[in-house]
A and B are shown apart, each in its own frame.
Chain A
Amino acid sequence: MDAIRCEHLSKTRRGRSIVDEVDLVVPAGSAFALLGPNGAGKTTLMKMILGLTRPTSGQVVVLGERVPVSPATLACIGAIIEEPFFYPWMTARRNLDVVLHEGARARSSSAIESALEQVELTETGGQRVKTFSQGMRQRLGLATALLRSPSLLVLDEPANGLDPIGIAALRRMLLQLREGGTTILVSSHQLHEIEQTCDRIAIMRDGRVVLEGTPSDVRGYSSLEERFLATVAKAAGSGPTAR
């Protein structure tokens, strides 16, 4: 079963094409990386997958349901889109509690402690978010995404603002989740991390998916960084499943 299926997905804003005829399949249980330079359309694509942005044409099917999905399916999705933001006057725990009650299926408060533990914020969970560093906010964003023990995780640049220790912890966490069967769709500029955590990669450029395959397929005989730079610098013409 496919966790995510995008069919001829396009988004045009003020006459400018942001996402252009994207066909993408994220198999269930896989860790799928979306790579691309800034402005390639990764975030808009993720927003359409999550139902935050309406496609101009095409459709998205997530966990077997066309977007917008039902509340029950939505409860199986965790996400961070761009930099995570919180209510600064509340504590981290209170923020998670609010997120928990915003959803269709509120879970027990033990979910909050479990999510905080996963991102190593248990001790600072009682502090107001306005006192948090960017890295702590990013980890709290991850806790928000993990709150409902999701079967699909959509993470837009989750390593932003994390220090090397945080990045290593994120890598461990993603590998652990992948082993547990969680489907992960992640966009990142940390190519080395992507190589270690993801089993499929798609590279976007100017709103299109120009290259897709396993990490070894994509990089070929060069490094992923070299392949990425070469791909985004010129029009795609060759490669494993070049489009």
Chain B
Amino acid sequence: MDLLRAEIAKLRRPLVFWALLGLVLVGASVGAAYLETAKLQYRNAIVAPTQAIQHPAPCKALGGLPPGPKCEAVRARDVELARQFLRETTNDSLRALSHLEPLGSGGFAAGIVTSTFGALVIMLLAGAHIGGEWTGHTAKTLFVQENRRGRVILAKFGSLWIAGVALLVGTWAGMAITGQLVARIFPIPLHPSPALQWAYSWPQLARALLVIGAFAAVGTFSASIVRNTLGTFFLGFGIIVASMVLSAFDALFAWTPGYWVASWMGFERTLLSLDHIWPDVFGGPQNPAVGAVGLSLLLIACLAASVSWIRRVDVA
């Protein structure tokens, strides 16, 4: 625990603050840009069908049907269709709007931290926090104090994961605040209940813990191999980007971290969505179980390789 405490102490540095600020700014920008889409979705999904239910179209608007039993049957069918549509879309619409509420923005933050920008920031931190020990020539001091290198690498990973979780919480807090500011300028048409917001948020937050762990493990692995700041960042982020590209191949997608992240987090099949920035071009269906197993194995494999490698190298 002392070693972990020492590693966490090293993370109390300006870089972490700037990383958090960057994530919040990205989240706020995407959130503000998405507000109009959310409102449009709200109009299409709730306002329009509600009006169709409350005020069914007159007979003359239904292909010029004369008033009578035939017209009433068509109107009744249209109302039923509108009710069915409303039932199906209300939850989606409320979920979209809940992104902008304080509790719901947790799911939003989870999507930002577990997608491309989050991976970028975690790899930057891995570069500075782990690779930086070699670039800054402090690795010698570190390994003179603690020669059980496996413990050092695991403490590095643990502290990086904790930093990732802190970024998640910080981004959530930042999004909750900026969401309120955005809502004051552009009023939200409907406020989903806190229960609904939380129901959307907490599964995403819980799932994000594994994805952050996998990203941190990839960063730790890259740092162990390259052992410098920039190289760690480029290799780590390169692995993530390569996995996204490989997920486009039908024969490979099920074996790529890109697919595992998208499956586990339930990212929609769009390149840019409100709650994530992650290409979703693979051909197969999403499978959360495959995602969870894949990410867990990736995490274990990266840490095992890191520990094994770092035990063998000379500390220059």
Contacts and interface: CB of A to CB of B under 8 A. Distances in A.
Interface in A159-215: none
Given A51-B147, A69-B147, A74-B147, A102 B3 contact: yes
B9 A54 contact: no
B54 interface: no
A52 B10 contact: no
B144 interface: yes
A102 B6 contact: yes
Interface string A78-111: 0101111111111000100111011110100000
Nearest to A83: B137
A99 B136 contact: no
B69 to A, nearest CB: 81
A133 interface: no
A98 B6 CA distance: 5
Contact of A101 (B5, B144, B147, B148): B5
Interface string B174-212: 000000000000000000000000000000000000000
A109 to B, nearest CB: 13
Interface string B1-25: 0110110011001100000000000
A181 B143 CA distance: 25
A53 B314 contact: yes
The B interface, classified by DSSP as helix, strand, loop or mixed, is helix
Interface in B234-257: none
A71 interface: yes
B147 A102 contact: no
**By CB atoms of chain A within 10 A, which of B140, B145, B152 has the most?**
B145
A31 B138 CA distance: 26
Contacts of B14: 89
Interface of B: 2-3, 5-6, 9-10, 13-14, 136-138, 140-148, 152, 312, 314-315
Given A99-B141, A101-B6, 17 more contacts: A47-B314, A51-B143, A52-B143, A53-B315, A54-B314, A71-B146, A85-B136, A87-B138, A90-B9, A94-B9, A97-B9, A101-B9, A102-B3, A102-B141, A102-B146, A102-B152, A103-B145
Interface of A: 47, 50-54, 68-69, 71, 74, 77, 79, 81-90, 94, 97-99, 101-104, 106, 144
Q: What 5 pairs between A and B have smallest CB-CB spacing?
A: A101-B6, A85-B137, A102-B145, A52-B315, A53-B314
